[in-house]
A = this chain, B = another copy of it.
Amino acid sequence: MNDFLKASLPFWSKLTQNEQQLLIDTLQIHKYDRGTILYHDGSECAGVEIIKSGRARVYISSKDGKEITLYRILANEVCMMSAACMIKNINFGISIETEADSEIAIIPRNIYQKLNDENMFVKNFTLEMVAEKFSDVIWLLEQFVFSNMGQRLSCELISQSELCESKILNITHEKIAVDLGTAREVVTRLLKQFQTDNLVSLSRGKIEILDDTALRKMSKW
């Protein structure tokens, strides 16, 4: 039962017996279908979420429906946004949705808060997670400000390929566009170019990576 807690929470072994039991007793586990919105800009956060299985996407969106993906949360990872937002009720203006059918454990807000206040290791963990994601977002901003679309697209293809551990990506231009915060047409145009350059091979809902060396080189300019 608590194997995944050990795997997800580096501070697990530093908790007292009581703290561990408290966690186990209050932990809620939910299943969500792919595409469920776990958290939407401005709503209350229920607690700290741990992805037992599946995957989630953290993103920001504008009123007119544009989006950009900040980062993803994979199995056994903790959603620190929920951790952070409860600390000082800072509203980050972000949203989170599942990208696959997912099983998610929730540590209730007040429980995590208690652990965070009592236990140094928990607080350390919280800080490190926030700092790490902060670092991720700054990297993203860098990409956005300093790189051209070709670089960003090749980078996206590589990381999508790593995500699904395959050179064949079952993904639409639309999804890529949302990840990158651009328009589908732009993605289509560039992918077309990539295809004539023999970097990828395209078909409906599918992109096959032919030359990942070249893409990698490109993405790092």
Q: Which residues of A contact B (CB under 8 A)?
A: 60, 62, 66, 68, 70, 84, 87-88, 90-94, 117, 120, 123-124, 126-128, 130-135, 137-142, 144-146, 181
Contact = CB atoms under 8 A, between A and B. Distances in A.
A138 B138 contact: no
A145 B87 contact: no
Contacts of A144: 141, 144-145
A130 B134 contact: yes
Contact of A138 (B137, B139, B146, B181): B137
Copies of chain A in the complex: 2
Contact of A131 (B70, B84, B139): B84
Contacts of A138: 60, 70, 92-94, 137
A68 B145 CA distance: 8
A62 B221 CA distance: 12
A123 B134 contact: no
Given A87-B128, A92-B135, A131-B84, A60 B120 contact: no
A129 to B, nearest CB: 10
Given A145-B66, A181-B145, A88 B131 contact: yes
A146 B92 contact: no
A87 B123 contact: no
